[in-house]
């Protein structure tokens, strides 16, 4: 069985040196977030993760969850773990103190998310969905609904879900058919939803379903969809629970991974209609849902980071123990970490994971400036940056996690293919991340279409300036490693600029170009942004090494080596993406459908 220990040193380095945690602590309302507090939080989260959540990861995978008498029963140990989780207050980190939250920065919530998801991704999906539901209700619900639900959700006594997908409506939500009809002060909801994560379970007293549905007089298409709050158990005005609403889990899916996370088919309104309450305005449900989705997309990007970190820890541990083969110049057989190709795989996992962490945290930091920054221009900068990077964090981190968890399995050789080893579980669990909360293709199209073309490249130019600033800082360094890093980042940036110029000049030449180049564009952008953040980290590490002799010396040296590796082995992919982009859509679209 694999263990997990939160990589606290890199987490704190990334928080403070890259994501600017100290500056965030100066934003209004965050002044209590001192570094002592942050360290203590990371420490406590790590303990719960290592001691309670991580040990349930493999058994949860093996035993899964089940439906007993029409209700979902979570995997063994999950109910107790959830109580430990909520009783320690971990659901409430970033939420409004007036509703029982701790009012901590979003950046801290993302950090905690990284650790929960590494420890037990199937488990952590439940609080993650609750988090997204809280965010949507905070932004769009009327006060009486907030009063009824938010405190219970922030405490974790109740959990939340997102109900978007129907059999005919996946990526394309215009096709949603679930109906809502007005009745007195509420609505009656009827329809079937699929792929509802933690759609039913026995962890909490109540479940707040957020559901996309159509009113009878709604306009067709995406502008005719509304968002409703539908509780599993009806809620009395005093907050106590009444009878069960007209809804039930029809079945749970048999999936490739995240077995302990019940993915439900949910039926609403079999007995005449489930009682629901409007969130936001009628026919404006998609906008409300996107509040939730954007949050969830960032967090799913973090899952890519988390599952890669977990897979890395497991592969590293195996590579340090497994004896196999010899190395020239050494008499005895060696542990496989001594073999260069195994080392390459571990370095790729380590470097990729650290690059993801940096990009996730830096992006999450923008959320705090969006919420708390008083200066309008700074706030706008972060707003644009968050919009630009969210699809990259979601798309690139999750795609990279496919490669890294696969390497984790490969390091184990034949043992990696045996389920008991646990490496295969990370590989299977990771595989959902490029699919849910918008597939990679949807992220890539969002990036290329809405965030670059519609924006006419303005946000991209702002990003380029920031990358150039880092290049300027490390330019002409005498340090051979920094010079290497500079060279590759400069090339990567040039490739990304070239791709952007090409896109803006060519996207309107045929209707398929944006879609055809979107995936490679997103991968190029993630690759370069990862390099940008790693280069920042290396620069800071090199400065620390030059100016202070600290106990962290080996950490800083390691950061410079890891960054060098990243630029040599990952950033060097940038030009292949650029070349593919510049071929446009011809060879992708030329084939008649019948000739596939």
Question: Which residues, 414 to 433, sit near its own copies by CB under 8 A?
Answer: 414, 416-420, 424, 427-428, 431-432
Pick out residues in 243-272 that bind its own copies (CB under 8 A). Answer: 253-257
Smaller CB distance to its own copies: residue 50 or 335? 335
| Contact in structure between 38 and 108 (CB atoms under 8 Å) | yes
For residue 53, which of 98, 86, 99, 102 has the smallest C-alpha distance? Answer: 86
Which range in 27-35, 137-145, 239-247, 569-577 contacts its own copies by CB under 8 A? 569-577
Pick out residues in 519-558 that bind its own copies (CB under 8 A). Answer: 519, 554-555, 557-558
Which range in 230-238, 298-306, 388-396, 407-415 contacts its own copies by CB under 8 A? 407-415
380: part of which helix (H) or strand (E)? Answer: helix 376-411
Smaller CB distance to its own copies: residue 183 or 320? 320
Residue 455, interface with its own copies (CB under 8 A)?
no
3-state class (DSSP) for residue 70? coil
Please identify which of the residues 205, 437, 543, 551 carries the catalytic annotation: 437
β 241-244/225-231 pair status: unpaired
Distance separating the N- and C-terminal Cα atoms of the chain: 44
| Contact in structure between 578 and 498 (CB atoms under 8 Å) | yes
Residue 478, interface with its own copies (CB under 8 A)?
no
3-state class (DSSP) for residue 268? strand
Of the residues 516, 523, 525, 529, which one makes contact with its own copies according to CB under 8 A: 516
> How far out from the chain centre does Cα 211 lie?
22
* Six-digit token string for 244: 């069960």
Strand partners, 159: 207
Of the residues 50, 63, 267, 410, which one makes contact with its own copies according to CB under 8 A: 410
| Contact in structure between 194 and 187 (CB atoms under 8 Å) | no
Cβ neighbours around 62 below 10 Å, total? 14
Instruction: For the CB of residue 119, give the shortest distance to its own copies in the complex, in Å.
Output: 20
Residue 183, interface with its own copies (CB under 8 A)?
no
User: Is 479 exposed, middle or buried, given 0-12, 13-18 or 19+ CB atoms closer than 10 A?
Assistant: middle
Instruction: For the CB of residue 429, give the shortest distance to its own copies in the complex, in Å.
Output: 11
The label of the residue with tokens 């709050």 reads 229
Site track 308-337 with its own copies (rule: CB under 8 A), x = hit: --------x---x--xxxxxxx---x---x
Instruction: For the CB of residue 71, give the shortest distance to its own copies in the complex, in Å.
Output: 22
Of the residues 294, 306, 518, 533, which one makes contact with its own copies according to CB under 8 A: 518
Residue 171, interface with its own copies (CB under 8 A)?
yes
User: Is 322 exposed, middle or buried, given 0-12, 13-18 or 19+ CB atoms closer than 10 A?
Assistant: middle
Strand partners, 71: 68
Smaller CB distance to its own copies: residue 155 or 406? 406
Smaller CB distance to its own copies: residue 70 or 414? 414
Alpha helices in 282-333 (DSSP H): 285-321
Smaller CB distance to its own copies: residue 85 or 556? 556
Instruction: For the CB of residue 384, give the shortest distance to its own copies in the complex, in Å.
Output: 25
Smaller CB distance to its own copies: residue 242 or 511? 511
Of the residues 406, 459, 497, 533, which one makes contact with its own copies according to CB under 8 A: 406
Which range in 116-124, 132-140, 382-390, 515-523 contacts its own copies by CB under 8 A? 515-523
Residue 346, interface with its own copies (CB under 8 A)?
yes
Describe the crossing of helices 458-474 and 513-547 by its angle, rounded to 10 degrees. Answer: 30
β 158-163/206-214 pair status: parallel
Residue 343, interface with its own copies (CB under 8 A)?
yes
- Determine the size of the site formed for its own copies (CB under 8 A): 97
| Contact in structure between 9 and 3 (CB atoms under 8 Å) | no
Of the residues 71, 146, 339, 468, which one makes contact with its own copies according to CB under 8 A: 339
Q: CA–CA separation, 503 vs 472, rounded Å?
A: 26
Residue 568, interface with its own copies (CB under 8 A)?
yes
Instruction: For the CB of residue 267, give the shortest distance to its own copies in the complex, in Å.
Output: 18
Of the residues 20, 77, 441, 449, which one makes contact with its own copies according to CB under 8 A: 441
| Contact in structure between 24 and 107 (CB atoms under 8 Å) | yes
- 3-state per-residue secondary structure call for 435-466: CCCCCHHHHHHHHHHHHHHCCCCHHHHHHHHH
Which range in 98-106, 107-115, 297-305, 404-412 contacts its own copies by CB under 8 A? 404-412
Pick out residues in 383-402 that bind its own copies (CB under 8 A). Answer: 402
Q: CA–CA separation, 385 vs 461, rounded Å?
A: 11
Q: How many Å is the maximal CA-CA distance in the chain? A: 83
213 Cβ partners below 8 Å, 6+ apart? Answer: 176, 178, 179, 180, 187, 189, 191, 225, 226, 228, 276, 285
Smaller CB distance to its own copies: residue 71 or 557? 557
* Six-digit token string for 492: 């990567």
Measured at the CA of 581, the angle between CA 308 and CA 300, to 5 degrees, comes to 25
Which range in 124-132, 207-215, 364-372, 561-569 contacts its own copies by CB under 8 A? 561-569
Pick out residues in 12-71 that bind its own copies (CB under 8 A). Answer: none
Smaller CB distance to its own copies: residue 87 or 553? 553
Smaller CB distance to its own copies: residue 20 or 441? 441
Q: Is 69 a catalytic residue?
A: no
Pick out residues in 103-162 that bind its own copies (CB under 8 A). Answer: none
Smaller CB distance to its own copies: residue 111 or 405? 405
- The residues annotated as belonging to the active site are 437
């Amino acid at each position: 069985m694999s263990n997990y220990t939160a990589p606290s040193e890199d987490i704190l380095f990334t928080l403070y040196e890259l994501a600017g945690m100290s500056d965030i602590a100066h934003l209004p309302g965050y002044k209590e977030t001192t570094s002592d507090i942050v360290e203590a939080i990371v420490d406590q989260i790590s303990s719960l993760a290592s001691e309670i959540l991580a040990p349930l990861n493999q058994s949860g995978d093996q035993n899964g969850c089940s439906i007993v008498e029409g209700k979902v029963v979570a995997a063994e140990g999950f109910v107790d773990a959830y109580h430990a989780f909520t009783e320690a207050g971990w659901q409430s980190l970033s939420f409004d103190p007036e509703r029982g939250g701790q009012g901590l920065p979003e950046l801290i919530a993302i950090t905690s998310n990284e650790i929960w998801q590494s420890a037990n991704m199937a488990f952590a999906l439940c609080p993650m969905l609750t988090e997204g539901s809280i965010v949507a209700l905070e932004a769009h619900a009327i006060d009486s609904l907030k009063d009824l639900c938010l405190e219970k959700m922030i405490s974790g006594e109740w959990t939340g879900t997102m109900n978007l997908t129907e059999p005919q409506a996946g990526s394309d939500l215009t096709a949603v058919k679930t109906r809502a009809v007005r009745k007195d002060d509420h609505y009656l909801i009827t329809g079937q939803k699929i792929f509802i994560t933690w759609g039913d379970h026995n962890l909490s007293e109540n479940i707040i379903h957020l559901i996309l549905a159509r009113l009878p007089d709604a306009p067709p298409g995406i502008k005719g969809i509304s968002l409703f709050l539908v509780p599993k158990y009806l809620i009395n005005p005093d907050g106590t629970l009444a009878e069960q609403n007209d809804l039930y889990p029809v079945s749970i899916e048999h999936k490739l991974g995240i077995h302990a996370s019940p993915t439900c088919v949910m039926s609403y309104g079999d007995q005449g209609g489930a009682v629901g309450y409007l969130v936001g305005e009628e026919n404006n449900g998609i906008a409300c849902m996107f509040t939730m989705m954007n949050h969830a997309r960032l967090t799913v990007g973090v899952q890519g980071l988390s599952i890669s970190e977990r897979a890395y820890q497991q592969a590293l541990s195996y590579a340090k123990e497994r004896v196999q083969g010899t190395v020239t110049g050494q008499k005895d057989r060696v542990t496989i970490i001594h073999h260069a190709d195994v080392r390459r795989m571990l370095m790729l996992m380590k470097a990729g994971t650290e690059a993801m962490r940096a990009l996730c945290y830096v992006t999450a930091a923008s959320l705090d400036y969006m919420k708390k920054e008083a200066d309008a221009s700074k706030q706008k900068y972060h707003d644009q940056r968050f919009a630009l990077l969210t699809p990259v964090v979601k798309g690139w981190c999750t795609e990279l996690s496919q490669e890294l968890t696969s390497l984790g399995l490969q390091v184990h050789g034949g043992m990696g293919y045996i389920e008991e080893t646990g490496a295969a579980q990370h590989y299977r669990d990771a595989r959902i991340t490029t699919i849910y909360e918008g597939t990679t293709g949807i992220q890539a199209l969002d990036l290329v279409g809405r965030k670059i073309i519609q924006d006419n490249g303005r946000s991209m130019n702002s990003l380029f300036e920031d990358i150039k600033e880092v290049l300027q800082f490390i330019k002409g360094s005498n340090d051979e490693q920094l010079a290497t890093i500079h060279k590759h980042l400069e090339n990567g940036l040039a490739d990304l600029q070239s791709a952007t110029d090409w896109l803006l000049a060519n996207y309107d030449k045929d209707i398929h170009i944006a879609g055809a180049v979107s995936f490679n564009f997103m991968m190029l952008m993630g690759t370069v942004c990862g390099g940008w953040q790693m280069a920042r980290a290396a620069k800071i590490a090199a400065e620390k090494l030059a100016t202070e002799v600290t106990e962290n010396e080996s950490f800083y040296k390691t950061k410079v080596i890891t960054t060098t590796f990243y630029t040599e082995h990952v950033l060097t992919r940038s030009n292949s993406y650029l070349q593919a982009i510049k071929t446009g859509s011809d060879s992708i679209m030329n084939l008649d459908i019948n000739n596939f």
